[in-house]
Structure 1
Amino acid sequence: MKIMDAEKAYSIRLAGEIVTEGDKTFFTEKYIKGTKYSSNIYSIVSKNIMQVTNGGAEKMPFYKDGVLYYIKYSEETETLMKLKSLSEPEIICTFYKIKKYLISEHGIFVIALEKTDDSKPFATTRIKYRFNGRGLLRSKYSLYAVDKAPHKIYSGDFDVEDIQCNNSRFIIQTTEESDDDGMSNLYEINKDGNKIKKITGKPGVIHGYSISDKGRIAVSMHENLNPWEVNRIAYPEEGKYLLVGKDSNDSILTDLFFTPSYKMKYNGDVLYAIAQEGSSSSIYAIEGEKVTKRTEVRGKLIDFDVAGVSGKEKISYIYSTPEHPSMVVNGDSYNINEEVAGIAPYVEGMDNGEYFFMLKDPAAPTLVFIHGGPQTAYGYLYYIEFQYFYQNGYNILYTNPPGSTGYGQPYEEECVGDWGNKDFEYIKKAMKSVMEKYKVVDNFAVTGGSYGGFMTNWIVTHSNIFKCGISERSISNMLSMVGTSDIGYWFNTLQLKITDPYSAEGIKKLMEYSPISYIKNVKTPVMLITGEEDYRCPIEQAEQFYVALKLNNVDAELVRYPGDNHEHARSGVPENMKDRLTRKLAWFDKYLKN
C-alpha cells in the first residue's frame, strides 16, 4: 500500500535568493501549484515573515535605497520590476530571458537572452552548437545598459555570464576565449562596455566572484577544464590562491527544485563564501589569510547574504537538512515546511568517503542510489526521492564513493581513467556493511542518474547482484556520446584520459568503458528513464541500451518525458516528476516486494 504519493512528496516549499539590506531581508519561495512552478517574494521585518508579491511569478529580489527590484516572469518574457513602498510596481525593461541584473550608481545593467525564431533553419560551424536546457544556440547572453530603453553594450558569439561592480570597477565574466569548452575569464570594462583589461589568465571554470569596496577581486575557480580539480579562492590580480574547506565551491547535489547558484560576497574587506567539507557545506569568512567558519549547520547551505559593518555584520542564509527541506535564518530560524518531518540517515565514514543509510526495517528491501558527476556528492540534506521511497517501505542506501567531491583532491581523482570499478567496489562494500551492521536482508535494487545512470548500466552488465535497476539520463555508449552530447567531445576524453577519441586507441578505450559492449551479460530487469530534450546524456543513449536489452530477452521498459532535459529529476516538468516517482515505485515493488 502506498503511504506517500508523489503529489505529497512534491508539496514542499523551498526558499532561495536571499538578500539583506539594513533591517530588511527578502527571499524567494518556490512551490508547485497545479501543473506549474510558482514563486513569490517574501520579506522578514522585525521577526515577521510577510508576503510581498502574490502573482506567483516573481523571483530574484534585490533591495536598495528603499526600492525592491525583482523579475516578473512568464513562459514568453521576463521583466525587471521595481517596487517602492505604498506604490504600484513599475516596469523597467523586458527581455526573453534575464540571467542577471545589476543596480549601481552608474545605472542599471542586465544580462539577457534575445528571443529567436526556432522555426527557421539552423546552421553552425561551432562544435558547441546546442546546450542542455537551452537547445540550439541561436543566440547568446549579452550585456545591456538600461537608460530610457535597453541597449546592448557587450556581446558576441559567446555568453556574458555575470557582472559585478563596486561602483568604481565593473567586472564581467564571459566565455569569449573558450566558448566551446564553456570556460570563462574575467574582464574589467567601463560603464559603456568598453574593455579595459583582462583580469584572469587562461580560461578556467569559474563558479562565482566578488569585488570588495577597495576593488580587490576574489574568484571561486579552477584553472583548467578537468572536472576533478578542487576549487580554490583565487585573487587573480595578486597571484594568490587559498583553499577554503575541502573545496572552495559547493557541488553537493540535490533533487530540490529550487537551488540557487553558488554564492560569494565581500562585505567591506571580508570575503564570505560557501565551501564544502564532505557531505556538508558552510559559510566561511576570509579576512587576509584568516579563514573562519561562520555557520555550524550540518547540512547544505543553499544561499546567503551579508550586510552591515565589520563586527556587527548580519548573515542571513538558507539551508537544508534531512529533517527540514528549507530553513531560513535571519537572526531567528524559520521553518517554511512545519508539517514536514524528514528522516535522517545514519552516516558512516568509510575508506576516505561516506555512505548514508535510512533504515526502514531490516526485512525491507533496499534501494541503492548512485550520484551523478562523477565529481559531485550526496549531502546531508533533504532528498525528495529518498523520503518518498522510505515512506513507501524501502531502506535507502546512498554513497560518496571515489570520485566524489568534498574529500580532497586524491579522492576526487580516483575514478578518472577507470570509470565503474573502484566506485562499484565501494558500493558493494557499503552494501555488505549495512547487511552486517543493520541486519538487512539481501534484497537490493540499484538506480542512479547521469553518471549514476552509467553506473547502473555498468553494474547490470558486470554483475547480477541486484533484483532490478532503474537507469536515468544514462550513458551506455561512450563513443556515440562524444558526438551527440553537448559536452561529450571534451568530457569523455578527459574522464577516460584519451587524447583523440577518434583514434584507434581512443575508440577502443571508449568502447571498453561502454556498458553496451557487455550487453550479453545482462540478466537484471532494467527501466530506462530520460527526458526527450536531454542534450547532456542524449536520449539515444537510453534507446541503444533499451533495444539491446529487448533483443537479448531482458525485461526492460523505456520511459521518455517530453519537454524535459537533463534536469528532469530535479527541476523538470512537475507532472513528469510526479509520474516518474510513481513509475519507479511500481517497478521496484514488482521485483522487490512481489
Structure 2
Amino acid sequence: MTAFLTKEHLYTLQSVTAPVLAPNGQEAVFVRTLINQEDNKYYAHLFHVELASEEVTQWTFGKERVSGAKWSPDGKQVAFLSNRDEKNQLYILKRNGGEAKKVADFPYGVSSFVWSPCGQKLWVTASLKDGTAFTDAVEKEDKKLPEAYVVDRMKHKMDGVGGNGLRKQGMSTHVAEVTLDGTITQFTEGNHDYALNAVSHDGKKLIIAVNRSENQDFEFRQPLYIVDVATKAETVLVEQDGYYGGAAYSFDDRYIAYVGSDATFKNATHTNVYVYDTETGQTSNLTESLDAPVGDYAVADFQQGAAAPAVVWTETNALYFQVSTMGDIRLYYATLEGELYPATPESEHVYGYAVAKSGNEVIVAVSNPTFPGELFTHNIATGERKQLTHFNDAYLAETTLSAAEPIVFKGAKDWDVHGWIMKPANYVEGEKYPLIVEVHGGPHTLYANTFFHEMQLLAAQGYGVLYINPRGSHGYSQAFVDAVRNDYGGGDFEDIMLATDYALANYDWIDTQRLGLTGGSYGGFMTNWAVGHTNRFKAAVTQRSISNWISFFGVSDIGYYFTDWQIGGDMSDIEKLWHHSPLKYAKNVETPLLILHSEKDFRCPIEQAEQFYITLKTMGKEVGFVRFPDCDHNLSRTGTPNLRIQRLEQIVGWFEKYI
C-alpha cells in the first residue's frame, strides 16, 4: 500500500546532479545532496559510478557540501570544492583511493577552477582583499569592531550574500594558478572582478571575463577576452551589453563556443550559442534560427546544485547544449555546418549532462513531474537509455504521486499558452475538488516537465493544481517572452484568468467555488495584483512579492534598473509605477490573503510585504503575515530546511482554513 507525499519528504528525497565523465569515458562522478533533519543542513557528497557495471560508490563523507568536480587530464585524480573547513576550498582525491587533500588555503575560499592540460596545476578564481596577496593571513572578523559602510555605488548590495546583504568592500575576484603542492601564483591584477571561463588544450590561452569600467552602476556586461598565458596579451572575444559566458575550446583549439544574450530585450532576450573561429576571426550564431532560449530556465524547488555546462564540444567539432522549449529542457546537438536538432526526447527536464568525446553517448540527469531525478546513459543514435542511479527508487515505489497533464489554451490576444493540470492524489471519479493556481517567478523563467515538491504536496492534500507559462515565460518565442515587459498586470493577468476559465470548462471535477491562488516573486506580484482585480479566488498566498514599484525602485538590489526594464518607467514617471503597483488597488481586495516573506530578501525586500500587510490591515481586510528569519529570496528552493517545512505548513494551513 502506497502513501501520499508529505512536506517531511524533503528529508527523504535525494537530489542527484552534476555528472562528469572521466577521460576514459568508462566512469563518472556526480553529486548526491540530501537534507539532514537533525543538523537542519544540506549535505552534498561526491559519488562515483562505473558505467558498464553500474556500480555506485560514495567517495566523500562528513558534514560538507561538495561541488564543481572535475577529472584531471589523465583521469587519475578528481578535484572538487568543499566547505568542510567552512570556506569553499579546493581538494584533490586520487582515483585509486585515499583521503582528499586540500590543495592550498585561499584566504576567502575558491569560487571556481579549471585543470591545466598539463595536469600539474589548476587555474582558480578566488576573492582577494585589495592590496593583499593570496598567501596573506586573514584577520578574524570576530575580533574587529563594527565599521561604517560607506556607500559609493548603486550596486552595493545583493540578495544571497548573507548578513545584511551588503557587498564586501575593498574586495576583488582574481584568477590564479596553483600547483599540486600548493604554490599559488596570482595571474590577474588590479581592483577588478575576473572570472575564468576556459583554458585552451595546449595550455597557452585562457578565456577570462572582466569589466574594468570604473563606475559599473549602469554597466550590464562582462566582456570576454582571450589571454595569452605567457605574455598576458589580450584579444577581445566579445564586448557588448548583455550576458556572455560559458566559453569552451574545441579539441583542436581552433574554435571557441560560448553562450550569450544581447541587450535588445534587456533580461528577456533569448540566449544563443556563438562560435568564434580563431583563424578567421569570424563569429557565427549557431542557434539564430531557433526561436527559443539556450540554457535551463526551469523553476522548481527540489534539485540542489544542478550545475550543467553551457556548451560541450565533441572531437568532431559538434556541440551539445540545453534548450528550454515548450515546457521541456532538452539537450540539443549542433554542427558548424548548421545542423541543429534535439538529442533527447520531449516531456522531461534534462538538468545535467556529460558528453563522451565521440558525441555518441551522454550521461543525462533527468526529471519529470513524477520522477525526482536520476542519472542515465543515453545513446544519441538509438535513443536507448540505461538508468545508472537509483537513490529515489524505494521512495517512488511506496508513494502515490499525481501526474501532470499538459494543456494548451488561448490566452490574451488569442495566443497559445501552455501549462499543466494535476488531479488530487486521492482523486475519485465523480467527486469535486478545490483547485490551486500557481504562478512562477521571474517572470523570465518557466514551469517545466520536472519534479516540483510543492505541487505534489498540494495534490497530496486533496487539491487540484493548475500551473501555466503566461506571456513573459521563457521557453517560447522571443515575442512571447518579451510581451510582459511594460504590461505587468495586463496580458499576463489575462493569461492566468483564461487558464482558470479553461480548467473550469474542461475539468468537471473542479469545484468552481473553491479556487486558490499562490506564487512567489513575480508570481507574488501577480497574486497581489489578482486579488486587487478579481474576487474569484476564495484564498490566496503571496510570497516574496512586489506590492509597490515606487519603493521597490530604491530598496531592491536590482530595483533601479529592473523597474525600468520591466515596467518601462522610473522615478520620473511616478504615475506609471503606481499604476502597476498592487498596493494602489488594496481597497478592492476581498480575498483572504496570507503574506510570506523572508527577512533577508534583498531582491524583493520585506518592506514590500510590510506595506501591503499594514495597508490591508488598516482597511479591515482578512490578511495574515509570516516572516522567515535569516532567509533570502530563495527560501522555497534553498532556504533553511525547517523554515522550508514551516513555509509549506503555512500555505497548506491557509488554504485549509479558507477553501
Which TM-score applies when normalising by structure 1?
0.94
Moved more, 514-523 or 85-94: 85-94
C-alpha displacement of 1:235: 2.7
C-alpha displacement of 1:94: 3.1
Contact kept, 8 Å, 2:63 with 2:84, in 1: the verdict is no
Among 68, 72, 79, which residue is 2:89 paired with? 79
* Partner residue, 1:52: 59
The one-character-per-residue Cα deviations of 1:255-300 (angstroms, maximum 9, x if unpaired) are: 1241434522122212111111110011112111111322115211
C-alpha displacement of 1:458: 0.5
C-alpha displacement of 1:465: 1.1
User: CA 1:131–1:192 in structure 2 vs 1: closer, same or farther (change >3 Å)?
Assistant: farther
Contact kept, 8 Å, 1:6 with 1:579, in 2: the verdict is no
* Partner residue, 2:135: none
C-alpha displacement of 1:343: 2.3
The one-character-per-residue Cα deviations of 1:100-121 (angstroms, maximum 9, x if unpaired) are: 1111136311112357849432
Q: Does residue 63 of structure 1 match 2:122?
A: no
- Matched to 2:294, the amino acid is S
* Root-mean-square deviation (Å): 2.1
Contact kept, 8 Å, 2:197 with 2:245, in 1: the verdict is no
Provide the rounded CA distance (Å) in 1 between the counterparts of 2:232 and 2:241: 20
Provide the rounded CA distance (Å) in 2 between the counterparts of 1:156 and 1:370: 44
User: Secondary structure, in 3 states, of the residue corresponding to 1:319?
Assistant: strand
Q: Does residue 350 of structure 1 match 2:409?
A: yes
Among 210, 216, 240, which residue is 1:174 paired with? 210
Provide the rounded CA distance (Å) in 2 between the counterparts of 1:475 and 1:365: 27
Q: Does residue 512 of structure 1 match 2:579?
A: yes
User: Secondary structure, in 3 states, of the residue corresponding to 2:105?
Assistant: strand
Q: Does residue 302 of structure 1 match 2:359?
A: no
Q: Does residue 110 of structure 1 match 2:158?
A: no
User: Secondary structure, in 3 states, of the residue corresponding to 1:481?
Assistant: helix
C-alpha displacement of 1:175: 4.2
Report percent identity of matched pairs: 27
Unaligned runs of 5+ in 2: 129-137, 379-385, 411-415
Moved more, 103-112 or 238-247: 238-247
* Partner residue, 1:16: 17
The one-character-per-residue Cα deviations of 1:478-505 (angstroms, maximum 9, x if unpaired) are: 111111111111111011223xx121xx
Provide the rounded CA distance (Å) in 2 between the counterparts of 1:179 and 1:325: 40
* Partner residue, 2:28: 25
Provide the rounded CA distance (Å) in 2 between the counterparts of 1:42 and 1:391: 32
Moved more, 574-583 or 328-337: 328-337
* Partner residue, 2:197: 163
When the two structures are aligned, how many residues end up with a matched partner?
585
User: Secondary structure, in 3 states, of the residue corresponding to 1:483?
Assistant: helix
Aligned pairs for 1:150-299 (under 5 A) are: 150-154=184-188, 156-166=190-200, 167-177=203-213, 179-180=216-217, 181-191=219-229, 194-206=232-244, 208-213=246-251, 214-224=253-263, 226-236=266-276, 237-243=281-287, 244=290, 246-263=292-309, 264-268=311-315, 269-288=317-336, 289-299=338-348
* Partner residue, 1:98: 110
The one-character-per-residue Cα deviations of 1:75-120 (angstroms, maximum 9, x if unpaired) are: 7312211111233321102343432111113631111235784943
* Partner residue, 1:144: 176
Among 551, 554, 559, which residue is 2:626 paired with? 559
Moved more, 357-366 or 13-22: 357-366
Contact kept, 8 Å, 1:233 with 1:241, in 2: the verdict is yes
Provide the rounded CA distance (Å) in 2 between the counterparts of 1:534 and 1:242: 38
C-alpha displacement of 1:136: 1.2
C-alpha displacement of 1:323: 1.4
Among 135, 138, 158, which residue is 1:131 paired with? 158
- Matched to 2:405, the amino acid is Y
Among 339, 357, 366, which residue is 1:319 paired with? 366
Contact kept, 8 Å, 1:210 with 1:218, in 2: the verdict is yes
Provide the rounded CA distance (Å) in 2 between the counterparts of 1:193 and 1:31: 46
Contact kept, 8 Å, 2:525 with 2:545, in 1: the verdict is yes
User: CA 1:390–1:300 in structure 2 vs 1: closer, same or farther (change >3 Å)?
Assistant: same
Among 88, 112, 122, which residue is 2:149 paired with? 122
Provide the rounded CA distance (Å) in 2 between the counterparts of 1:445 and 1:158: 48
C-alpha displacement of 1:193: 8.7
C-alpha displacement of 1:367: 0.7
Unaligned runs of 5+ in 1: none
* Partner residue, 1:410: 479
Provide the rounded CA distance (Å) in 2 between the counterparts of 1:29 and 1:193: 41
Provide the rounded CA distance (Å) in 2 between the counterparts of 1:25 and 1:273: 19
Contact kept, 8 Å, 1:109 with 1:145, in 2: the verdict is yes
Provide the rounded CA distance (Å) in 1 between the counterparts of 2:591 and 2:376: 46
C-alpha displacement of 1:395: 0.6
Provide the rounded CA distance (Å) in 1 between the counterparts of 2:566 and 2:632: 22
- Matched to 1:8, the amino acid is H
Moved more, 239-248 or 150-159: 150-159
Provide the rounded CA distance (Å) in 2 between the counterparts of 1:24 and 1:424: 49
The one-character-per-residue Cα deviations of 1:414-445 (angstroms, maximum 9, x if unpaired) are: 11111012111111111111112111111111
Whose Rg is larger? 2
User: Secondary structure, in 3 states, of the residue corresponding to 1:441?
Assistant: strand
User: Secondary structure, in 3 states, of the residue corresponding to 2:269?
Assistant: coil
- Matched to 1:389, the amino acid is L
Provide the rounded CA distance (Å) in 1 between the counterparts of 2:177 and 2:260: 27
Provide the rounded CA distance (Å) in 2 between the counterparts of 1:128 and 1:564: 21
- Matched to 2:345, the amino acid is E
User: CA 1:511–1:156 in structure 2 vs 1: closer, same or farther (change >3 Å)?
Assistant: farther
Provide the rounded CA distance (Å) in 2 between the counterparts of 1:262 and 1:255: 17
* Partner residue, 1:396: 465
Provide the rounded CA distance (Å) in 2 between the counterparts of 1:141 and 1:572: 26
* Partner residue, 1:337: 392
Among 43, 46, 65, which residue is 1:41 paired with? 46
Which TM-score applies when normalising by structure 2?
0.85
C-alpha displacement of 1:144: 2.2
* Partner residue, 2:132: none
User: CA 1:554–1:29 in structure 2 vs 1: closer, same or farther (change >3 Å)?
Assistant: same
User: CA 1:245–1:40 in structure 2 vs 1: closer, same or farther (change >3 Å)?
Assistant: farther
Provide the rounded CA distance (Å) in 2 between the counterparts of 1:411 and 1:518: 27
* Partner residue, 2:647: 580
